[in-house]
Amino acid sequence: MAQINNIRTVSVPSIGKLPLAEKPGTFTPSGNKREHKGGRLPEDGGFTETGVAAKLELSINLLGGVDVVALNAIAGEDVTVRLADGHVHLLSQAFVTEPVGITDGESKLTIMANTSEQIS
């Protein structure tokens, strides 16, 4: 049976491992978005390319001792994402995009970085 690929752990140097919820969320590595560029003839066409930032959308458990202020302060850190298939990605100079709210034990956290790379 094939293994389902999902996020196993997320680590931030200033905090350590984040307390992920049962369904941790999604990770999109940085890459390029390509859009068609037409030409008078088919061979004159092609595409334009723009960079797309890495994005990590997480559901986290707000356990006792989780510092929401520290989560909101994540900026300029190298965040490590370990996937269930063993691959590890590094988001360089990552930052939190909007403040984490306090709800009934679970919250959303979005981390972005201009670049990411697969390191193993």
| Count of domains for the chain | 1
Determine, yes or no, domain membership for 39. Answer: yes
| CATH code, 109 | 2.40.30
Q: Which helix (H) or strand (E) holds 72?
A: helix 68-72
The pLDDT of residue 13 is above 90: yes
Domain enclosing residue 72, as ranges:
7-118
Q: What is the pLDDT of residues 93-111, one digit of tens each?
A: 999 999 988 878 889 999 9
The residues, ordered by sequence, that sit 6+ positions from 46 with a Cβ below 8 Å of its Cβ are 37, 39
Q: What is the pLDDT of residues 61-102, one digit of tens each?
A: 988 888 899 999 999 999 999 999 999 999 999 999 999 888
Determine, yes or no, domain membership for 2. Answer: no
Determine, yes or no, domain membership for 53. Answer: yes
DSSP state of 115: E
Q: What is the pLDDT of residues 34-54, one digit of tens each?
A: 998 888 887 888 888 999 999
